[in-house]
A = this chain, B = another copy of it.
């Protein structure tokens, strides 16, 4: 029976010695295996994973390895468990932890950082300078669950308490998996200045981050919120989440449409979630002088950019990869307060055994899939299917 020394357990929530988890083999190869339940250390808890959402980055990680192109690049690691948008129930406490209780429902953010480099020391833990250094001779203790350390495509995971967010009783497991996505949008809006009420924003690309970007911007009081995209059904969901205007770029020139809405004055912010080759140039023509562009997506190949437009108009541009600066807590607060209904982007649910099918739905957008969630308990899944 699982009873590691120094770890606090509760009889109401027994933990097995081993668990099922998907592990990565060669690029693209996932296997469901039985492996030991990990042990939380100081400042860590063991989370029983109840639900995990699939993100486009999971597909990349499974195919190509971790997403951060640090100096020299990260190696493609094998024999670990991806999955980073998960939630669950606290099952055991590492030494000294009393911030969370066994049985408490929590959702997670990805990055714990190393907590000892300059960036972590500044509060910029997603830009940890020891990114991926969590093994071997250069073990700096960096953790980014599902990117460089074991994540959520299994039954249990270890989380630093820094990465946890409390889930209220009236929030479903599925909704709770979306907190980190909303947190990523919130981080982008925070870096964009944070004083958003009454300011104008364009969100480009109605993927999960873009759609929740619309919702978060609206909750912060942005006005107008303009969403651009290519598919009307996605744009319609954007409207339901708070977009004042939607622009189908298949039918209209995006820059012209935005400038028509704004009477030629441009918007204050662009949250770029499309990753299209012309996205930055178009964004630069949408924002006003001194405006800000947050890049939450990117094309995989270098693209031509009109740098002169950025410089002569004093434009601020920055990339974010995931959440940061505890934005998940702010996003979770809005969701707990029912400021928007994130579940509008949840479309499909599968059981843990069906992860490969779930990944296929997410990758190929089968049946218009947006967010596909994988749940631990089969009954829950069937229940969801019956609804």
- List residues of A whose CB falls within 8 A of some B CB: 42-43, 67-72, 95-96, 98-99, 115-116, 118-119, 121-129, 131, 137-141, 160-162, 186, 190, 194-195, 197-199, 219-221, 223, 259, 264-266, 280-281, 288-290, 295-300, 302-321, 324-326, 329-334, 336-337, 339
Contacts and interface: CB of A to CB of B under 8 A. Distances in A.
Contact of A162 (B42, B116, B138): B116
Nearest to A328: B198
Given A127-B289, A160-B116, A72 B264 contact: yes
A318 B315 contact: yes
Given A221-B219, A302-B305, A337-B221, A313 B72 contact: no
B195 A330 contact: yes
Given A68-B313, A304-B302, A307-B302, A265 B321 contact: no
Contact of A319 (B281, B297, B314): B314
Identify whether the interface residues of A are mostly helix, strand, loop, or mixed: loop
B197 A162 contact: no
Contacts of A305: 280, 302-305, 307
Contacts of A325: 122, 195
8 contacts: A67-B312, A70-B313, A71-B265, A116-B162, A121-B125, A296-B311, A299-B308, A316-B317
Contacts of A219: 197, 221
A318 B310 CA distance: 7
B68 A197 contact: no
B304 A303 contact: yes
A140 B321 CA distance: 30
B121 A289 contact: no
Contact of A332 (B138, B140, B198): B198
Given A123-B123, A129-B265, A195-B330, 17 more contacts: A43-B141, A71-B259, A71-B266, A71-B288, A122-B325, A128-B289, A186-B197, A190-B195, A198-B333, A223-B333, A223-B336, A280-B307, A299-B307, A303-B305, A312-B319, A314-B324, A316-B317
A313 B317 contact: no
A121 B119 CA distance: 11
Contacts of A297: 311
Contacts of A318: 310, 314-317
A149 to B, nearest CB: 15
A67 to B, nearest CB: 6
Nearest to A295: B311
Contacts of A288: 71, 119, 129
Contacts of A221: 219, 330, 333-334, 337, 339
The 6 A-B pairs with the shortest beta carbon distances in the complex, nearest first, are A127-B290, A198-B333, A311-B319, A123-B123, A197-B330, A302-B304
